[in-house]
């Protein structure tokens, strides 16, 4: 029996695998009944057969950033075994997420719409970043007060570069 | 016919033009930026030259470098594709001054239609209906607000030099107008180097329908019917189809004739597209004319059985159009899904490296892609990486085929809008052909099998990880030799 926890966006679910015979598995996804699946694998391609339902899956990337597609549905996933999950939980305890507003993609900072000390509401636009010739508004995810601004207008930024830090208010 | 032609573009359109050149026995020549050295359009070309660094303003947009490359490569003609220098009259003139053939309309026609305000005046004079509005740049927010009051909200702000949805804003009141004007100006200045913005009345239940026209240098001008382009996000097209499920046959004929009149009004030669706004009442208004090959030209090619790039080359070489209007008849139905490297929920661009790629194939499927496995999608260029097109005998079959083709598609490593396309193909409004440009203003419902596919993805990822973990353990064991089959069989070492 092996168990993996798979994160997709903010949601994490475990998947438990029991190998039966070569290529045949009983698989249970958290909160769902167990299903019997036949799997063959070659390079980055998986073939899943469940009864008469046949699916081709493309899969690539590293454990922390795995990409998969099935029947045109795509997802970016993080895959953890139990040990890796314990390490992740320990790390996440140290820093939260929503108080940092980061550029979601590489681009240029067009405008910072807030100043230090300013109160902002969840959903309020705080900065404009231009990427691929389009302007995109970045919004606060939480209510808070602007604690620090790391970016300047005209600055080129990479994806995930922190631009603004908020102090959460309740 | 030309022997050597330079394609002055990149991405899927450079690939698409190059393919026709190869089919016609013409030597395809390419240009590329430093970032595109290994791009598909370069690999397909016979010869290619680098024209500068990644930023298009320093490479693909530098006309003098493009022309120098054409001369060095011994090209006789330049095909500009769409975007970049394709609608730049100064560049067209420079190409001709260098003794090369410009595969596009006369510079005067580009100028007349390139500025939206001039275009309005030119076609209005030819009797083409236009949207109520003010055809001059707004001086300031006060003037804009006064005009908006007069023609009535909602109004549309548009960049005079615009295209592709940049510098465009729909506003419903004065406050939004003032904010929108500043943003539209900034976007227009950044994208086109010109911040002139004008105002038009916003037509309700609007459809964006365009007519493909084609004129030769001998006075013949025909149209290849319409393309329905109403599935848009941020005023940019996402899905196009031909024919439009919305207009009647009588309206089709009328719009075709008006489009030909608009083309004639500016002395057009070559492939062009006349864009119309069609209201819920089936009244139509001229929007703009695109003086180049359009992104969505494949749906017309599929339905009319023509190669528009081949026609462009023949007409540029001086040949007359090989067909009359009476000989141009549509057959079946075609749909194009534009694959953007962007988040389908937020529309945010999502550049990155493609780690795996599988395109659909089989009957009636056409893929025009500028990327391949391991391509890097750069933030410096347009996020459209491919067009997935299908053709079938009728609209219902075309939708079923699109659904099937989308299910066969996998693009890993970057986020794309493929999920959005799947949802549109399952949306009742789209299936019934009753949608307008507001179709994507609210999130679409997930497809019936989406939740099940999401679960299967988790199962696949876990099974894949288990297999990888076992492989790693196996290798570790082999490396340590602890479980070497030779040792188990009792030998002191391997012996063959």
Going from the N-terminus, what domains does chain B have, and what CATH number goes with each?
4-103 (3.40.50.20), 132-201 (3.30.1490.20), 207-451 (3.30.470.20)
Q: Looking at residue A94, what is its pLDDT?
A: 41
Residues near B5 by beta carbon (within 8 Å), at least 6 away in sequence = B21, B26, B27, B28, B29, B75, B76, B77, B78, B79, B103, B313
Judged by CB atoms closer than 8 Å, whether chains meet at A46 and B464 is answered as yes
Q: Is B292 a catalytic residue?
A: yes
Secondary element (H or E) of residue B297: helix B297-304
Tokens matching residue A36: 């019997």
In the predicted model, is pLDDT for residue B325 greater than 50?
yes
In the predicted model, is pLDDT for residue A144 greater than 60?
yes
Instruction: Assign B327 a pLDDT band (cuts: 50, 70, 90).
Output: very high
Least trusted range by pLDDT, from A90-94, A139-143, B44-48, B179-183: A90-94
Q: Nearest C-alpha of chain B: how many angstroms from A65?
A: 9
Q: Looking at residue A105, what is its pLDDT?
A: 80
**Nearest-by-Cβ selection for A71 from B186, B413, B453:** B453
Please name the CATH architecture into which domain A98-168 falls: Beta Barrel (2.40)
Q: Which residues of A touch B467 (CB under 8 A)?
A: 39, 41
In the predicted model, is pLDDT for residue B330 greater than 50?
yes
In the predicted model, is pLDDT for residue B494 greater than 50?
no
Comparing A82 with B322, the larger pLDDT belongs to B322
Question: How is the beta sheet containing A125-131 ordered, strand by strand?
Answer: A134-139, A125-131, A107-112, A156-157
Tokens matching residue A19: 């190998």
Q: Which of B169, B185, B292, B338 is catalytic?
A: B292
Burial group, residue B295, by CB count within 10 angstroms (0-12, 13-18, 19+): buried
Which of A78-92, A117-131, A142-156, B45-59: highest mean pLDDT? B45-59
In the predicted model, is pLDDT for residue B485 greater than 60?
no
What pTM was computed for the model?
A: 0.81
Instruction: Assign B483 a pLDDT band (cuts: 50, 70, 90).
Output: low
In the predicted model, is pLDDT for residue A26 greater than 90?
yes
Q: Looking at residue B202, what is its pLDDT?
A: 86
Judged by CB atoms closer than 8 Å, whether chains meet at A106 and B351 is answered as yes
Judged by CB atoms closer than 8 Å, whether chains meet at B379 and A105 is answered as yes
Q: Looking at residue B138, what is its pLDDT?
A: 87
Angle of the B89-97 helix axis to the B63-72 helix axis, nearest 10: 30
**Nearest-by-Cβ selection for A4 from B358, B413, B462:** B462
A46 torsion bin: left (phi>0), alpha (psi -120 to 50), beta (else): beta
Would you identify the CATH topology of the domain A2-83?
Glycoprotein, Type 4 Pilin (3.30.700)
Instruction: Assign A82 a pLDDT band (cuts: 50, 70, 90).
Output: confident
Q: Looking at residue B408, what is its pLDDT?
A: 96
- DSSP codes of every residue in A93-104: TT--STTEEE-S
Q: Looking at residue B159, what is its pLDDT?
A: 87
Instruction: Assign B259 a pLDDT band (cuts: 50, 70, 90).
Output: very high
In the predicted model, is pLDDT for residue B169 greater than 80?
yes
Q: Nearest C-alpha of chain A: how many angstroms from B449?
A: 10
Instruction: Assign A97 a pLDDT band (cuts: 50, 70, 90).
Output: low
**Nearest-by-Cβ selection for B412 from A6, A35, A69:** A69
All structural domains of chain A with their residue ranges: 2-83, 98-168
Question: How is the beta sheet containing B333-340 ordered, strand by strand?
Answer: B284-290, B270-278, B207-215, B221-233, B236-242, B333-340, B384-392, B365-369
Least trusted range by pLDDT, from A11-25, B106-120, B335-349, B470-484: B470-484
Angle of the B116-125 helix axis to the B249-265 helix axis, nearest 10: 110
Rounded CA-CA distance B420/A73 in Å is: 10
The two beta strands, B197-201 and B155-159, are: antiparallel
Q: What's B140-207 look like in SS3? A: CHHHHHHHHHHHCCCEEEEECCCECCECCEEECCHHHHHHHHHHHHHHHHHHHCCCCEEEEECCCCCE
Rounded CA-CA distance B177/B138 in Å is: 12
Check: complex ipTM more than 0.85: no
Q: Looking at residue A93, what is its pLDDT?
A: 47
Q: Nearest C-alpha of chain A: how many angstroms from B53?
A: 16
Q: What is the mean pLDDT of chain A?
A: 86
Secondary structure of residue A114 in the 3-state scheme: coil
Judged by CB atoms closer than 8 Å, whether chains meet at A59 and B412 is answered as yes
Q: Give mean pLDDT, residues B221-247.
A: 96
Judged by CB atoms closer than 8 Å, whether chains meet at B459 and A136 is answered as no
**Nearest-by-Cβ selection for B356 from A8, A44, A107:** A44
Q: Are B414 and B353 in contact (CB under 8 A)?
A: yes
Name which of B374, B464, B380 is nearest A75 in CA terms: B464
Instruction: Assign B190 a pLDDT band (cuts: 50, 70, 90).
Output: confident
End-to-end CA, chain A:
44
Shortest CA distance from A13: residue in chain B: B458
Shortest CA distance from A128: residue in chain B: B183
Distance, C-alpha B213 to centroid of its chain: 17
The two beta strands, B207-215 and B333-340, are: unpaired
Rounded CA-CA distance B13/B83 in Å is: 10
Percent of chain B with pLDDT over 90: 79
Rounded CA-CA distance B55/B381 in Å is: 8
Rounded CA-CA distance A137/A124 in Å is: 9
Judged by CB atoms closer than 8 Å, whether chains meet at A4 and B466 is answered as yes
Helix segments in chain A, DSSP class H: 82-92
Q: Which residue has the tokens 């260098």?
A: B98
Least trusted range by pLDDT, from B132-136, B174-178, B373-377, B381-385: B132-136
Question: How is the beta sheet containing A162-168 ordered, strand by strand?
Answer: A100-102, A162-168, A144-149, A119-120
Q: Looking at residue A91, what is its pLDDT?
A: 58
Instruction: Assign B481 a pLDDT band (cuts: 50, 70, 90).
Output: low
Instruction: Assign A106 a pLDDT band (cuts: 50, 70, 90).
Output: confident
Q: Give mean pLDDT, residues B222-230.
A: 97
Q: Which residues of A touch B450 (CB under 8 A)?
A: 73
What one-character DSSP code corresponds to residue B237? E
pLDDT, tens digit (0-9, with 9 covering 90-100), for A35-51: 999 999 998 899 999 99
Q: Give mean pLDDT, residues B299-318.
A: 98
Q: Looking at residue B490, what is its pLDDT?
A: 46
Least trusted range by pLDDT, from A14-28, A87-101, A112-126: A87-101
């Amino acid at each position: 029996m092996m168990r993996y926890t798979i994160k997709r966006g903010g949601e994490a679910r475990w998947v438990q695998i029991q190998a039966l015979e070569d290529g045949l598995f009983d698989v249970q996804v958290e909160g769902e009944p167990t299903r019997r699946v036949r799997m063959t694998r070659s390079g980055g391609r998986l073939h899943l057969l469940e009864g008469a339902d046949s699916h081709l899956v493309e899969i690539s990337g590293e454990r922390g950033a795995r990409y998969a597609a099935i029947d045109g549905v795509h997802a970016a996933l993080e895959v953890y075994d139990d040990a890796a999950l314990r390490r992740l939980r320990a790390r996440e305890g140290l820093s939260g997420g929503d108080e940092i507003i980061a550029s979601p993609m590489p681009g240029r900072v067009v405008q910072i719409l807030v100043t230090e000390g300013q109160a902002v509401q969840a959903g309020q636009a705080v900065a404009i970043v231009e990427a691929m010739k389009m302007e995109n508004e970045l919004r606060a995810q939480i209510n808070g007060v602007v604690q620090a601004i790391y970016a300047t207008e005209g600055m080129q930024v990479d994806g995930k570069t922190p631009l603004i830090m908020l102090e959460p208010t309740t | 016919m030309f022997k050597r032609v330079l394609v002055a573009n990149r991405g899927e359109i450079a690939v698409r033009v190059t393919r026709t050149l190869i089919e016609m026995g013409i030597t395809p020549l390419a240009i590329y930026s430093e970032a595109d050295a290994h791009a598909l359009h370069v690999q397909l070309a016979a010869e290619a030259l680098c024209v500068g660094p990644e930023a298009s303003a320093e490479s693909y947009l530098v006309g003098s470098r493009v022309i120098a490359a054409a001369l060095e490569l011994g090209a006789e003609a330049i095909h500009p594709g769409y975007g970049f220098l394709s609608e730049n009259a100064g560049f067209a003139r420079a190409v001709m001054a260098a003794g090369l053939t410009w595969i596009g309309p006369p510079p005067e026609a580009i100028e007349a239609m390139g500025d939206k305000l001039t275009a309005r005046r030119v076609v209005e004079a030819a009797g083409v209906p236009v949207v109520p509005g003010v055809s001059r740049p707004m001086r300031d927010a006060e003037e804009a607000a006064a005009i908006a009051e007069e023609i009535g909200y909602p109004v549309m702000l548009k960049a005079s030099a615009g295209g592709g949805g940049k510098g465009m804003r729909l506003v419903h009141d004065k406050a939004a107008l003032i904010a929108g004007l500043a943003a539209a100006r900034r976007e227009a200045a950044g994208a086109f180097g010109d911040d002139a913005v004008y105002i038009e009345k916003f037509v309700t239940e609007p459809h964006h329908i365009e007519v493909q026209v084609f004129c030769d240098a001998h006075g013949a001008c025909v149209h290849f019917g319409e393309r329905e382009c109403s599935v848009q996000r941020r005023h940019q097209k996402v899905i196009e189809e031909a024919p439009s499920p919305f207009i009647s046959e009588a309206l089709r004929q009328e719009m075709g004739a008006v489009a030909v009149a608009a083309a004639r009004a500016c002395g057009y030669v070559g492939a062009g597209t006349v864009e119309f706004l069609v209201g819920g009442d089936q009244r139509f208004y001229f929007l703009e004319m695109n003086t180049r090959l359009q992104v969505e030209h494949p749906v017309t090619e599929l339905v009319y059985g023509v190669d528009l790039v081949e026609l462009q080359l023949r007409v540029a070489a001086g040949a007359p159009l090989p067909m009359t209007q009476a000989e141009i008849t549509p057959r079946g139905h075609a749909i194009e899904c534009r694959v953007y490297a962007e988040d389908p929920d937020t529309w945010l661009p999502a550049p990155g490296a493609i780690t795996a790629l599988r395109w659909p194939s089989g009957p009636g499927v056409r893929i025009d892609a500028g990327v391949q496995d391991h391509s890097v999608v750069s933030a410096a260029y347009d996020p459209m990486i491919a067009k997935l097109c299908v053709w079938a005998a009728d609209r219902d079959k075309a939708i079923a085929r699109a659904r099937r083709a989308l299910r066969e598609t996998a693009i890993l490593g970057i986020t794309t809008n493929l999920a959005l396309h799947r949802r549109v193909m399952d949306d009742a409004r789209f299936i019934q052909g009753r949608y307008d440009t507001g179709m994507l203003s609210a999130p679409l419902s997930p497809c019936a099998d989406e939740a099940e596919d999401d679960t299967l993805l988790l199962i696949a990822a876990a099974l894949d990880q288990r297999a990888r973990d076992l492989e790693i353990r196996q290798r570790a064991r082999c490396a340590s030799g602890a479980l070497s089959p030779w040792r188990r069989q009792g030998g002191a070492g391997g012996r063959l």
